[in-house]
């Protein structure tokens, strides 16, 4: 267990078309969100769906896979690590963001458009 540090694995559906940026350094970065769903029964025996949204960032070859094959609604599996950062808005407000830095993406079923936008 000593080798397990900061690792996240999620299976979910892409919530928006990935935003792809080509940086001046030549690197490519992809940003998008995925939704994961949990189902349970409440005290009345009714089925309840709980949806969580996760911000995903992918770099390099992983970003190229996202650009070419991942689209809104596509079911994917993500493996990566949690990262946190802060930034200031134009109004000077400090904001905190937690993202998943994807190291691997596995394309699953769940969308007939094969990831096209």
Condensed to tens digits (0 to 9), the pLDDT of residues 9-18 reads 999 999 999 9
CB within 8 Å of 5: residues ≥ 6 apart: 81
Distance CA 27, CA 78 (A): 20
**3-class DSSP state of 75:** strand
The candidate with the shortest Cα–Cα distance to 75, out of 8, 30, 14, is 14
Distance, first Cα to last Cα, the chain: 41
Average pLDDT for residues 109-115, to the nearest whole number? 51
pLDDT band at 2 (very low <50, low <70, confident <90, very high): low
How much of the chain exceeds pLDDT 70, in percent? 90
């Amino acid at each position: 267990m000593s080798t397990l540090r900061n690792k996240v694995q999620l299976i979910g559906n892409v919530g928006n078309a990935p935003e792809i940026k080509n940086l001046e350094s030549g690197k490519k970065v992809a940003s998008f969100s995925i939704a994961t769903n949990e189902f349970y029964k409440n005290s009345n025996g009714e089925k309840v769906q709980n949806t969580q949204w996760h911000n995903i960032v992918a770099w390099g070859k992983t970003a190229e896979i996202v650009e070419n094959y991942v689209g809104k609604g596509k079911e994917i599996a993500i493996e990566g690590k949690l990262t946190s950062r802060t930034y200031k808005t134009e109004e000077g407000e400090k904001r905190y963001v937690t993202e998943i830095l994807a190291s691997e993406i596995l394309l699953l079923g769940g969308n007939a458009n094969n990831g096209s936008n």
